[in-house]
A and B are shown apart, each in its own frame.
Chain A
Amino acid sequence: MADADLRVKPDWGVLTGIAFTFFALGVTVNVLVLERVGSEIKTVVAAIVVNSATSELAYLAVRDAGGSVLAALIAGWVVASRFGLLAAGLGGRLQVGRLHRALAGLQSFDPNVGVAVQQPTSHGVMRVFWMVTLAMHAGWWSGTFVGVFLGNIIGDADRLGLDAVFPALMLAVIGNLLRQRQGMTAALAGGGLCAVLVPIAPAGVPIIVSLVGAAIAMRVRVPEGTT
């Protein structure tokens, strides 16, 4: 299948879907963080400066399980390592100055990088990256506000199925990559390795090891004229 047929095009439907997902994520994560931190201000500041919901959750999960602050911090850092990998994937497609590059690196998440790297030109990558980033932040901030200040009204967010929203978004983001032989191989290998390692490896490690899936996919032969 040709490249032109495979790109996720960030129209209003896509951007609305991403904003809605991050709204749901902002609500669910910040209700949980507030429960454990007990301070609205700390919850909001953590959401702003940590800029990684999974890191916050990993830190709190280790502390909940009786782990030390250091162990919890390491878990929080390790689960964020995928953002470094994604930033590296994005960086190779950018032709911008160092400051712009640093800002893009600091905003590297799964959906914005996942959609941006599917664009054919460096300009398209940059434009789409920031469009998706804006949609993500609009959803995340409104969700954070609702989660922190109105969370008691919403009650149990899982009851609304909001915990299925983020994996569904992720699937939609890589959906077109799955139509390519190498993309499908990378996804199956990465996901499979993660599933095998989750019960036996420390938090965050399965995500890092999933990178091997990309290396395995490199060995798949690509028919001429396809991607």
Chain B
Amino acid sequence: MTWLVIALLAAGVALQRLAGMFVGTALIARFPAFERLASLIPAAVVSAVIVQLTFTSKSSLVIDERLAGVAVAGFLVWRRAPMVVTIVAAAAVTAFIRAAFGL
């Protein structure tokens, strides 16, 4: 990764964020129906990120130890456990399964 690549990567990421903030927000202001749509975007996009981080390895779908950790997190979120407990439990369960089964 050269300095030029770091600069280009940074510029592309920053421009998208600014475009979302100014152009995306202007669209929402112009078309009121977009406001409810915008409020649902985090649920849809974050859910996709969860799927990607839990079930993928490179470009393949996989089921591995991460699923157990995230499933425990899902249970704890449902039971309204404190966030830090949820996160630590997810890591602990994943680590335990790896250690127990030598994965």
Contacts and interface: CB of A to CB of B under 8 A. Distances in A.
B92 A84 contact: no
B10 A81 contact: no
A51 interface: yes
B48 A168 contact: no
B69 A164 contact: yes
A159 B69 CA distance: 13
A211 B87 contact: no
Contacts of A162: 91
Nearest to B57: A198
B15 to A, nearest CB: 9
A86 B31 CA distance: 17
A132 B61 CA distance: 31
Give the secondary structure class of A's interface: helix
Interface string A158-186: 11111111111111111101100011101
Given A186-B44, A214-B43, A13 B37 contact: no
Contacts of B61: 195, 198-199
A190 B5 CA distance: 31
B24 A84 contact: yes
Interface string A50-71: 1110011001110101000100
B48 to A, nearest CB: 3
A209 B95 CA distance: 32
A14 B83 contact: yes
Contact of A161 (B22, B33, B93): B93
A167 B98 contact: no
A46 B2 CA distance: 10
A41 to B, nearest CB: 10
B1 to A, nearest CB: 5
Interface residues of A, number: 99
Nearest to B77: A175
B43 A171 contact: no
Contact of A105 (B5, B7, B17): B17
Contacts of B86: 17, 168-169, 171-172
Nearest to A80: B13
A1 interface: no
Contact of A158 (B14, B25, B52, B98): B98
A218 B40 contact: yes
Interface of B: 1, 3, 5-10, 12-14, 16-25, 27-29, 33-56, 58-61, 65-66, 69-70, 73-74, 77-78, 82-84, 86-96, 98-99
27 contacts: A14-B82, A16-B84, A17-B84, A88-B41, A89-B39, A89-B41, A91-B24, A101-B22, A102-B18, A105-B22, A106-B18, A110-B45, A164-B65, A165-B87, A171-B77, A172-B77, A178-B43, A191-B47, A194-B48, A195-B61, A198-B51, A198-B59, A207-B52, A210-B45, A212-B44, A213-B44, A218-B37
The 8 closest A-B pairs by CB, nearest first: A88-B24, A105-B21, A91-B25, A190-B44, A84-B20, A164-B69, A210-B48, A161-B94
